[in-house]
Amino acid sequence: MRATRGRASEQMSDDGDRRGANAPWGIAFDLGLRLGISVILGLGGGLVVDNWLGTLPLFTLIGVVLGIGAAMYTIWDVARSAMRR
């Protein structure tokens, strides 16, 4: 029991945040999820507007470009916050 408590206290940082060997996997999963959601929302929004206005490829392409732009901003934001740690 004492060995378990010792290891748990070693993994705690000064601010109480648990960090271990799985931290890079968590960041990768978070980025993948954010990237996928950004692109899917942009594509979906473009398709909805295109079907509503009857201009098939125009707003779909604009939505994809906006989704990719949002995904790139997300990568930049996460990388900036990771560099501050």
Q: What is the pLDDT of residues 29-56, one digit of tens each?
A: 988 999 999 999 999 999 999 999 999 8
Q: Considering just the CA atoms, what is the radius of gyration of the chain in Å?
A: 20
Q: What pTM did the predictor assign?
A: 0.68
The CA distance from 18 to 25, in Å, is 14
Decide which of 19 and 49 is more confident: 49
- Cα dihedral 49, 46, 79, 24, rounded to 10, equals 120
Query: Which SS3 state, helix, strand or coil, does residue 75 take?
Result: helix
